[in-house]
A = this chain, B = another copy of it.
Amino acid sequence: MLGEFDLIARYFKPLAARMAGAVGLEDDTCTWRPGAGEELVLTADALVAGIHFLPDDPADLIARKMLRVNLSDLAAKGAKPVGYLMTTAFSPDIDEAWVAQFCQGLAADQDEFGIGLMGGDTVATPGPLSLSLTAIGTVPVGRAPRRNGAKPGDIVLVSGSIGDGALGLKVLRHDFLGLEESHRRFLSNRYHLPQPRVDLGRALMESGKVHAMMDVSDGLVADLTHITDASKVAATLRASAVPVSEAAAAILADDMGWLPLILTGGDDYELLLTASAADVPDLLGIAAELDMPLTAIGEIAAGKGVTVVDRDGAALELAQKGFRHF
């Protein structure tokens, strides 16, 4: 393994080229300011090998997922991504080839999302590989949708398809062996490489018609509960309306018992939002222009908590609402 400073110079410095204020990571700090009328949106996440990703996941995919999970948080506020600070605690098994591949993944997504490395720190740990990332975006001042704006009468909408990430993890753990190979690849790819809905989030924010928005990471039911708790309202979630991919539909066709995992598994990184019923057609139109599915899956009412109902309106009981770290 190269020394700390050589490693930074060879692999991390090129990632900071886009950020003039990072001065080639030579300064311990980065300077930067948002444009006129813009404010920052800041978010941070920690990832630990064996908990948030599989220790033998490809290094470039670990890097890209780490970035995308945070870009998804920014997307839910309608923010334009700018850059990130990253700290890495490398376990003894990490070698230079791993770091090189990790940084290739970062570089690929920096290009895809137009962001740059602003700073960070590289240390060693005797424990599992641990990563921490602070992502920074910008949004017009005061325009970021919060979780606490849902109102009785609102429609609940979600982008893309739900459940693929949790099912993809099971595929990678050698479950669903009878599933068609193309479906298996689709699901594992959705687990490894989520698609932060940056453009959709921005367009929805710009519409000014979103009352509450967040991304689905802990699980659809848990995250909708975050919205109802913060907004002091209740929600009904129609399980049969929740959009699923062809691959997830094939699994459900074989065994509806996988529905709770789809509704609560998390790792979706889709946008979950509420808006007035009258504004839903406009929002569907905005999504359609971006070729992004956006689906009405429930309603907000006065009260507390989330009720999941099946096709007949009967309440479904879920053993667990979503992922908790402990």
Beta-carbon contact of A27 and B122 below 8 Å: no
Choose from B41, B85, B128 the contact partner of A31 (Cβ within 8 Å): B41
Which of A48-56, A103-111, A256-264, A308-316 makes up part of the contact surface?
A48-56
Are A28 and B46 in contact, CB atoms less than 8 angstroms apart? no
Q: Within 8 Å CB of A134, what residues of B? A: 44, 85, 134
A245 within 8 A of B: no
A307 CA / B91 CA spacing, docked (Å): 35
| A230 contacts chain B at the CB level, 8 A cutoff | yes
Asked if B45 and A147 sit within 8 Å, CB to CB, the answer is no
Cβ contact within 8 Å between B127 and A73? no
Binds B, one of A32-40, A203-211, A276-284: A32-40
Known: A50-B126, A126-B50. A120 touches B33 (CB 8 A): no
- Taking CB atoms, residues of chain B closer than 8 Å to A77 are 27, 29, 31
Closest to A226 in B: B26
How far in angstroms is the closest Cβ of chain B from A37?
9
Q: Which of A1-9, A153-161, A296-304 contacts B (4 or more CB under 8 A)?
A: A1-9
A193 contacts the other chain (Cβ, under 8 Å)? no
A271: interface (CB < 8 Å)? no
Query: Cβ of A275 < 8 Å from any Cβ of B?
Result: no
Interface flags for A87-111 (1: CB within 8 Å of B; 0: not) read: 1111100000000000000000000
A144 touches B29 (CB 8 A): yes
Spell out A's residues near B (CB within 8 Å). Answer: 1, 3-5, 21, 23, 26-34, 38-48, 50-52, 73-74, 76-77, 79, 85-91, 118-128, 130, 132, 134, 136, 139, 141, 144, 146-148, 214-215, 226, 230, 324-326
A and B contact pairs by CB, cutoff 8 A, 12 listed: A3-B326, A4-B325, A26-B147, A28-B43, A29-B74, A42-B85, A45-B87, A48-B124, A50-B126, A87-B132, A90-B326, A132-B132
